[in-house]
Structures are given as structure tokens and as C-alpha cells.
Structure 1
Amino acid sequence: MAMGKDPGAALYLYFVEPLTTGSGLSEVAVKAGPLVLIGIGLSFGFRAGVWNIGAEGQYIAGAIAGGGLAVYWHQSESALLLPAMLLLGTIGGMTCAAIPALLKTRFNANEILVSLMLVYVAELLLVHLVQGPWRNPQGWGFPGTRMFPDAGTLPLLLRGQRLHLGSVIVLAAPFIAWFILARTRFGFRIKVFGQAPLAARHSGVSSGRIVWQTLLIGGGLAGLAGVIEAAGTIGQLMPKISPGYGFTAIIVAFLGRLHPLGVLLAGIAIAVTYIGGEGAQISAGLPKAVTGLFQGIILFYLLAFDLFTRYRIVLPTRDTIQE
């Protein structure tokens, strides 16, 4: 209302219209993919009290590692190119996450700061590559690599839509993660370490191993999301390949209560705000920043709900003061 817009129409554009058309549902699935993958990876660390805030950098590192293979083999028609790209993308994200893991376990460095600073390193490296050695020689001077070959792109599932095979991969991830966290000793150790780290150490759980494992899982899934995005919806590397998926996935992880199936639903919900925000910019003239505002409001209400359900205000009485 402060912007002179009809709030009812704006809310409809944001939260309802993306779900009323086939193209809207397709775009929601495309946007939800990286959010869900990264959010699941982060939930492993957050459950254990390992705060990986640099998933954005790991996402970019995965896109660089996997996309670089397609750039160098741009004439390849091998069926092995795409699986190799996905593998290298995962390794690229894990490599980026290994740096804060090493510094945390060897020097007790703060993983929040280290992982966050690596985001800027990854962003600058990507810009250097697409404007320098990997620039498309036939790109008329625009920053960006060659288009990936057909063998290095994810097949589209629907004609005329951007929905691709990567969305199917994403659908399997929450169920695999749920099984690991709920039905394996590794998942139990993560839970114990996050809730009672001292007791976990006394029972033989290695804190260093948990740090390494959770950071590598988070980095690997973020890197996989990065190369899926590059090989799926973009088809090349550009200076900006993410609208902030790595940071938004933090909201997704907590909105999903760190549960893989909850993260799946939260990723879809946040993806709706992305697509709805784009529609609201076109139809209602609302600024892009409103999308981030809606996402922040959702997280704020979630945290406020937790606060008021877990704690209560107790006014002191004369008896309690005397005690």
C-alpha cells in the first residue's frame, strides 16, 4: 500500500499465479532445484552445529569445475561428458568446503568467516575466467564462455519449457538424505554431536571427522547444484550464474526445520517467491527487492514462532524475589 499498489493483487502475483500455469510450475521446479540441493547439504552441518555460510561460493566453484570441462571439450559428443561434469562439479564444491574444514580442525578458525570470505574468491575467479582465458572468441566481446555442447547439457523434459533432467536428480536427494540422517549411524552421530557435543566426544565421536564430513557434504551438494544450473538452464558460464541461491538456501534449511523432506517443501515455497517476484515486477511494477523482503519476513516469523513456543515471559513476584 505504501508503494501505491493493491496488496491483494500483489500477493496473488507472488504466491498464487506461479502455481496456476504449466510454465509457472515448470519455472518453480527449476528454481527449487538448487535451493533444495544446497539446503539439504547445509542441514547436515547445521544439525551438527557446523555453520557453513559459504554455500554460494561452493555453488560457484562447482559450476567452474564442471563447466570448465565443457569449455575445454566444447566439440565433444561423448556420453561421458555430462556425468564427468556432474562429478567434477561435486568435487569442486567439496574442494571449496575443504578449506574451512581444514582451518577449523587444524587451527580452530571460525568456519563462518572462512566459508563466507571464500564466496568472494569464487565470484572473482569466475569473473576472471569468463572475461579472460575462457571468454567466447565468437561472443562479440561479451563476457561469457562458449555454449556447452549438446553432450554437456542436461536434456529438457518438456518442449518449450526450461524443466530439465536435473530436477529429477533433485527429487531423489531429500529421500536419500532422510534415510542417511534417520536410519544410519552417521546420521545418529550428527544428531548427538549437534545436541550434546561433549557427550558425543566422550562416546568416541570425533569432532574433527564430523566437521570434515558435514562440510564436504554441504560443499559437494552445493557444487552439484552449481554445475546442474550451468548445464541445465544457462548452458554456459557467465559472470553472474546465481541470484543468491547459496544464501537463500540458509533460509530454506531453517524453514524446513533442517529435515530433508521439510527442506524440499521449503525450497518449493521460496522458489514460488522468486517466480512470483519476477511476475510482480512485470505486471505490478514492484521492485526486485520486495522478493528478498518476503523471504526475510518468512524467516523472521519462523524464528519468532520458535522464540514464543520455546520460551515464556515470567514476571517476578515477591516470593521469587525473596528466594
Structure 2
Amino acid sequence: ALAFFDVETPFLLPAMMIAGILGGMAWAAIPAFLRTRCNTNEILTSLMLVYIGILILSFLIHGPWKAPDSYNFPESRLFHDAALVPILLEGTRLHIGWLIALAIAFAGWVLISRHIIGFQVKVIGGAPLAARFAGFKENTIVWLTLMISGGTAGLAGTIEVAGPIGQIVPVISPGYGFTAIIVAFVGRLHPIGVIFSGTLMSLTYLGGDALQIEMNLPNAVTGVFQGMLLFFLLATDILIKYRVVFGKLQVVPSQVVR
């Protein structure tokens, strides 16, 4: 959008989305390489890369990508209409990215529930030893899942800046990446369930903004509510799977078999 700032073409937005997907895949290749080559935890490496990405974005938005007429504010130029996602309902912020998210969620459900790759992902994630015994290629599945995840994340970032924001700023997301962890667990780790849990989390953000305006409550209320929601959900799972017994622990002596 910035490189072709003066170009009015309908191919600009699709090119931006493709670039976002490729950029997300390239970024996800870092934890994938570290996981398959160095056996590092992909969750930790991807979380640490978040801070590196924020610093890189801050450098670019304060330097090469900074708008010449921004009056010393760290922001890029406003995108042209050709670089903005179409709005579905006039007068609202609902744009075509919502339909893209639904399509990706449905495709994820088909991949996980109706394809052999999804079965391999479940087995490798739940029983790695059984996956090795069955001959599943763990490294291939790790690369595939991280490439898909990185591509969709890059597409989401492209739609975010090409949507209501309409430009690149230092803080694009108020914490959507970390909230996605809560969305996944509340949605019961199901591609269709995350649609409803994501809608619920978006309502908490809107409700948090309303509480700040109407009741002068701090912004941390949203994070507290989301954290409590995840805590009680996981606590419920534990209480369902395990039975709490009060009393003294009885130690049964082991018998040596001769």
C-alpha cells in the first residue's frame, strides 16, 4: 500500500493480502526451524518473536515508513481507497474480513476433522510416541501447521491495517494475539467454536471501552474478565475429569514379585 501509494488498481488489495500471507509464513518459519532443528518450544519462541516484531515495526514507522506530513507523529500515510477492504454495511465497521474469517474457520474445520492431515496433527499433539510408532512425519506436520498459522496471522494483520485503521501505526493490536489463546480454549480448540468465542471476546473489548467511558473504570477490567473466564473454564475441566477427595493419604506398600 505504501510502495504503490499513487497507484489506483483493483489488484492492489489482493497483492497486499498475498504479501501479508507470505510475510506471516516467513515469520512463522523461525519458530518452525527452531522447533524441528533445536527442539525448542514453539510457543515460547513465537511469543518472544512478538516483541522483536514490535520493535521492528516501531523502527520502520519512526523511519522509512513515516508519513512526511504526520507532524512528528509515528504513523504512515493513509491508504488509498484501492488499498482498503470493502465495507459490508454502510455506517458500520463490518467489512469483508469477517467473511474471510468465516471461510478460513470452515476450511480449518474441514482440514482438522475431514482430512488425514488433521488426524496426524491430533495424534502428534496428543500422543507423540504413538505418532512416531505409526510413522507420521512430525517435522513435516510442524512446518505445515506453523506455515498455515503464520499465513492466516499475516492475512489477519493485513486486513486489520487495511480495515478501519487505514494506515500503519506503532500499536496495531491491543493484544489480539494473546487473546487468541483464550479464544482457542473457550472455543474448545475447535475451528467452528472459535467463531463464537472470538465474538464473545470482541464483546468484552467493546464492553471494556463502554465501562471506561460510562463508569471511569480502568482498561484492565477487560483483561481481568478474560483471565477469569479462562481460569474458571480450565478449573471446570479439571473438576470434571478429576474427583477431589478430602482425607489422609493412604500409602499402600508395594509387593516384590519373585
Match of 1:146 in 2: 77
Paired residue secondary structure (1:155): coil
1:95 maps to 2:26:
yes
Residue of structure 2 aligned with 1:311, choices 237, 242, 245: 242
Match of 2:226 in 1: 295
Unpaired runs of 5+ in structure 2? Answer: none
Matches within 5 A, 1:195-206: 195-206=126-137
Once residues 302 and 232 of structure 1 are traced to their aligned partners in structure 2, the CA distance between those partners, rounded to angstroms, is 32
Once residues 42 and 219 of structure 2 are traced to their aligned partners in structure 1, the CA distance between those partners, rounded to angstroms, is 31
Match of 2:155 in 1: 224
Partner amino acid for 2:11?
L
Once residues 255 and 145 of structure 1 are traced to their aligned partners in structure 2, the CA distance between those partners, rounded to angstroms, is 36
Residue of structure 2 aligned with 1:249, choices 161, 171, 180: 180
1:162 maps to 2:116:
no
Distance 1:319 1:290, change over 3 A: closer
Q: CA deviation at 1:99?
A: 0.3
Match of 1:104 in 2: 35
Distance 1:314 1:281, change over 3 A: same
Q: CA deviation at 1:93?
A: 1.1
The structure whose RCO (Cα within 8 Å, separation 6+) is larger is: 1
Q: CA deviation at 1:244?
A: 0.4
Deviations 1:259-286 (A, max 9, x none): 0111111000111100011011111111
1:209 maps to 2:140:
yes
Match of 1:85 in 2: 16
Distance 1:296 1:319, change over 3 A: closer
Q: CA deviation at 1:75?
A: 0.9
Once residues 185 and 197 of structure 1 are traced to their aligned partners in structure 2, the CA distance between those partners, rounded to angstroms, is 16
Match of 1:176 in 2: 107
The percentage of counterpart residues that share the same residue type is 54
Paired residue secondary structure (2:192): helix
Q: CA deviation at 1:110?
A: 2.5
Once residues 309 and 263 of structure 1 are traced to their aligned partners in structure 2, the CA distance between those partners, rounded to angstroms, is 22
C-alpha RMSD over aligned residues = 1.6
The structure with the largest alpha-carbon Rg is: 2
Distance 1:128 1:308, change over 3 A: same
Partner amino acid for 1:84?
A
Once residues 20 and 125 of structure 2 are traced to their aligned partners in structure 1, the CA distance between those partners, rounded to angstroms, is 28
1:135 maps to 2:135:
no
Partner amino acid for 1:263?
V
1:188 maps to 2:119:
yes
Once residues 146 and 232 of structure 2 are traced to their aligned partners in structure 1, the CA distance between those partners, rounded to angstroms, is 28
Paired residue secondary structure (1:159): coil
Paired residue secondary structure (1:260): coil
Q: CA deviation at 1:112?
A: 2.5
Unpaired runs of 5+ in structure 1? Answer: 1-69
Residue of structure 1 aligned with 2:200, choices 241, 265, 269: 269
Q: CA deviation at 1:318?
A: 9.1
Paired residue secondary structure (2:168): coil
Distance 1:81 1:319, change over 3 A: closer
Once residues 208 and 129 of structure 1 are traced to their aligned partners in structure 2, the CA distance between those partners, rounded to angstroms, is 34
**Structure that is richer in helix per residue:** 1
Q: CA deviation at 1:113?
A: 2.5
Distance 1:318 1:197, change over 3 A: closer
Paired residue secondary structure (1:240): coil
Deviations 1:92-129 (A, max 9, x none): 11111110110111121222332122111110111111
Q: CA deviation at 1:322?
A: 6.1
Deviations 1:151-191 (A, max 9, x none): 11101122221111111111212211111111111111111
Paired residue secondary structure (2:35): helix
Matches within 5 A, 1:41-80: 70-80=1-11
